Structure 1
Amino acid sequence: MNVLDTVRPYVLSIFRIVIGLMFACHGAAKLFGALGGEAVPVGVWPQWYAGVIEVVGGGLVLLGLFTRIAALICSGEMAYAYFLVHQPKALWPLQNEGELAAVYSWSFLLIAVMGPGAWALDTWLSRIRMREHLTAHNGVA
């Protein structure tokens, strides 16, 4: 096993944390006018709903809780944004201002496939469940 294999779960965690935090900030800007954003009125389609997905999904990805499903939903939201908002303007992301949506969509898809990494609540909870499972079976034997 080389050094890159050893650090992979930790680098994946850092990637997940950064992407989740940045995405949650986008949602906070939409919902609350935070970070210089302009708050969208409640219920306005699709911006307000996107903000909710970004805050909740980004927060869950950041924490590494329900990571795969949250990342998949966030990836889908960004694919929706790219194809319905940006792509009709022009073919290429550089021309249609859809680069960020495309990068987020692919980043979240990567997280959904690769998992949360070493530093995640999902990983911690999985270890606790495994320990409890082993303890229960060892006590029976």
Structure 2
Amino acid sequence: MTGRLNSAQPYAIGLFRIVVGLLFACHGANSLFGAFGGETPDTGAWPAWYAAVIELVGGSLVLLGLGTRAAAFISSGAMAYAYFKVHQPQALWPIENSGEGAAMYCWAMFLLIFTGSGAFGLDRLFTKRSTARSSTATDQRPVAV
């Protein structure tokens, strides 16, 4: 049983990454463009506009599995800032201060920093290509004199 679960781990991480990235990008699109009926901040307004850009771009990169660790690092930090500067001063617990979303995105992105993109990510395509190129380059050894 454990062997099957372990072999499915990259696929579970990949699916987790796709769902978290999609939801995060949707949140950013809603904040930036009012895509789903939300209010939009003024361009350049601190911190709402910058958070929305990070959500849209970071979520899209995480969704695609492109630069997952870097995008997750920046996104996790942005959500930690959002929680501690916007939500936490209102009340201690996330359920009291409406900070559940920021806290969950912060920890989900934090997890992706360490797990990477898993299966189905574009990172894997570029890694395979660069590995194939480097292996062909190292196979050509100079002739000893």
- Percent of aligned pairs with the same residue? 54
**Gap runs ≥5 in structure 2:** none
**Gap runs ≥5 in structure 1:** none
Runs of 4+ displaced beyond 4 Å = none
Structure 2 residue 35 is the aligned partner of structure 1 residue 34: yes
Match of 2:55 in 1: 54
Secondary structure of 2:124's aligned partner: helix
The one-letter amino acid of 1:66's match is G
Secondary structure of 1:88's aligned partner: coil
Residues in 2 aligned to 1:73 and 1:25: alpha-carbon distance in whole angstroms: 17
Structure 2 residue 98 is the aligned partner of structure 1 residue 133: no
Secondary structure of 1:36's aligned partner: coil
In the superposition, the TM-score normalised over structure 1's length comes to 0.95
Question: Could you give the per-residue CA deviations for residues 53-84 of structure 1, whole angstroms, max 9, x where no partner exists?
Answer: 01111111111111101001000011001101
Residues in 2 aligned to 1:82 and 1:132: alpha-carbon distance in whole angstroms: 44
Q: Matches of residues 12-91 of structure 1 in structure 2 within 5 Å?
A: 12-91=13-92
Aligned length: 141
Q: C-alpha root-mean-square deviation of aligned residues, in Å?
A: 1.2
The one-letter amino acid of 1:120's match is G
Residues in 2 aligned to 1:85 and 1:32: alpha-carbon distance in whole angstroms: 21
Report how far residue 39 of structure 1 moved: 2.0
Residues in 1 aligned to 2:34 and 2:113: alpha-carbon distance in whole angstroms: 29
Match of 1:102 in 2: 103
Question: Could you give the per-residue CA deviations for residues 73-113 of structure 1, whole angstroms, max 9, x where no partner exists?
Answer: 00001100110111111111111111111110000000011
Q: Greater Rg, structure 1 or structure 2?
A: 2
